[in-house]
Amino acid sequence: MPPKFASLFGSLLSLLPDDFQPAARSELPSHFFTPEEIGRLHRADADPCTSLDDQTWQDLLLESCEDKLALGSSIFGRQMLHRRLRAGIGDAECASLGARLRGLLADPARLDALDTALRPLRYADTELAGLLFGGEPPQAPSWARLLWTLPVLLLGSLALLATQPLGWMATIAALVPLMALQISYHRRIELWTATLNSLNALLAGSHKLAEFGGPLLAPFVDARGQAARLHKRVGRSLLMRMIPGGEAYLNWFAAYNVRRYWKTMRAVYQARDFLRDACLRTAELEADVALARHLRGLDHWCWVERTPARTLELEGGVHPLMEGPTALSVALDGRGAFISGQNASGKSTFLRMVGLNLVVARAFGFCYAEGARLPAVPVRASMQNEDSLLGGESLYMSELRRARELLDASGAPPGVCLVDEVFRGTNHLESVSAAAAVLETLCDRDLVLVSSHNLVLARLLHGRLEPLRIDTSSGSPVLKPGVLRNPNGIALLATQGFGTQIEDRAAEVARWLSAHLVEPEQQEAPKALAPVT
């Protein structure tokens, strides 16, 4: 192309709406969004009975998993992935998603092309779910209809300034309300401008996707005209883009930005139904592309067959956030599981692995395993209860509060409960008693997997929980039937240099306590532990 025409083409291109220009091929922006912002789309219609609660989300480290899934996605795709993880999807939607993902995985060229077409979404630096799915629009004040009179009054005052000695007083009087408007509306207009930029990024993405064919993208083609018309209504005018600094002068001396603020807000709220559909449609497609991109880089995953609520089969399951994880298998039908194992054998990691795979399977129809048959039910976890100094809550009170929450939620609908080291915050006798009572009730309603060093619970709950132990004798963890028989809590004293005196004394007391539980009247307390009379 001759230089003259190339320069002319560049000038014309610069006059196009910023959001409809081709996305630059340099590194795309990566904006930070808080968990609260990411969760707004989910909270717009969340069902608390079936959605994951906040503690389960934290206990299963799902925020890190979401970060891995959403790598390279905009706020739109990320919000949709979050919504699916928290709420899950139904059987029909899961089957449809599976078909779409298979199609994308089978056509890498199309997947890459869609990924490129979605790039304009990355320029959105504010989330829109709060605007599109929130409450009623703010009402413009009655004086907003009279804003056009301010520049007229200013021009009239300038005429007085040129003809009357005290005309400057009229000019000041005309400037005061204009300056007051800029001061009072500055922050609101700044935030709204960022919102409009994000809306334009959404419209630009929809416009770009309309260029693709196929039934999957037919809705984008149908909406292309309306997207262009809406962009014209909320975008900056051609004249404002052509005059350098012109908009700034109009803002200060004609309240142009305040009038545009109310005008574009009215246009956006009038088109909110269309924008909701566009947001969901685009977010779903970007989430699909992110998932296909994620699966394309994995070796260890499988499609999941959905089962009834109390049936769980996981063959060679792994935790995707671990480096070089060991695959473990578990199969439960009707009864839950009591997981025992030595210290540091991986009981908590195993529960997290099962929980994360259950959540991902319910949300996307695949999981990180060699094979899986899993229920699409809510998952509820109690794994990281701690003292709260600021909240004035002890460990045991924290555990009791969480147990009460699990009992209130259990059975409506049936789900899977994952409990790690239940009731650590009180003495052994009361811990076992309270744990047995709570777990019995939970087992009647939900499928329960619990890990505990209180091995007596395995016998108390034998009819409800299948005893399983994590055996590390071979160097790698293996899940086997039965209850741990050789705990290593005292043996670990040696690894920390406590000395033989403490180690031998601890072993002596442990032998006495074990025998005392079996035949309490026949056992004499070790020396120095007998009661003083």
- Residues 82-117: pLDDT tens digits? 999 999 999 999 999 999 999 999 999 999 999 999
In 10 A of CB 470, how many CB atoms?
20
Classify residue 205 as exposed, middle or buried by CB count within 10 Å of its CB (0-12, 13-18, 19+): buried
Amino acid at 106: A
Looking at the structure, give the CATH architecture of the domain made up of residues 302-488.
Answer: 3-Layer(aba) Sandwich (3.40)
Please state, as a whole number, how many other Cβ atoms lie within 10 Å of the Cβ of residue 217. Answer: 18
Helix axes 256-270, 167-209, angle to 10 degrees: 30
Determine which of 154-158, 289-293, 331-335 has the lowest per-residue pLDDT on average.
154-158
- At CA 59, angle to CA 54 and CA 361, rounded to 5? 85
**Domain ranges in the chain with CATH number 3.40.50.300:** 302-488
Q: Per-residue confidence at 25, pLDDT binned at 50, 70, 90? A: very low
Listed in sequence order, the DSSP H helices in 88-143 are 91-106, 108-117, 129-132
What's the pLDDT at 461? 92
When pLDDT is averaged across residues 217-242 and rounded to a whole number, the result is 81
% of the chain at pLDDT higher than 70:
88
**Confidence (pLDDT) at 289:** 97
Is the predicted pLDDT of residue 71 greater than 70, yes or no? Answer: yes
Q: Is 50 exceeded by the pLDDT of residue 346?
A: yes
Checking if the pLDDT of 353 tops 90, the result is yes
When pLDDT is averaged across residues 495-503 and rounded to a whole number, the result is 82
Say which range, 180-189, 245-254, 405-414, 430-439, has the weakest mean pLDDT: 245-254
**Per-residue model confidence (pLDDT) at position 47:** 92
3-state SS, residue 331: strand
Identity of the residue numbered 299: D
The CA distance from 374 to 354, in Å, is 10
In the predicted model, what is the mean pLDDT of the chain?
A: 85
- Would the pLDDT of 243 be above 80? no
- On whether the CB atoms of residues 80 and 169 are closer than 8 A, the answer is no
The tens digit of pLDDT for each residue in 1-10 reads: 444 434 433 4
Q: Which residues pair with 306 in a beta bridge?
A: 374
The per-residue pLDDT for range 390-427, each reduced to its tens digit, is 556 788 888 889 999 999 998 889 999 999 988 887 78
The answer to whether residues 183 and 115 touch, using CB atoms and an 8 Å cutoff, is no
Q: Looking at residues 352-381, what average pLDDT do you find?
A: 97
Q: How many CB atoms lie within 10 A of CB 184?
A: 11
Q: Within 10 Å of residue 326's Cβ, how many Cβ atoms?
A: 17
Across 7-16, 36-45, 474-483, which has the greatest mean pLDDT?
A: 36-45
Burial 143-167 (b: 16+ CB within 10 A, else e): ebeebeebbebbeebeebbeeeeeb
CA distance 23 to 36: 28
Better-scored residue on pLDDT, 355 or 400: 355
- pLDDT at residue 196 tops 70: yes
Q: What was the pLDDT predicted at 519? A: 54
Phi, psi of 401 (to 5 degrees): -60, -45
From residue 189, alpha-carbon distances to 85, 242, 246, 491 in Å are 34, 22, 17, 66
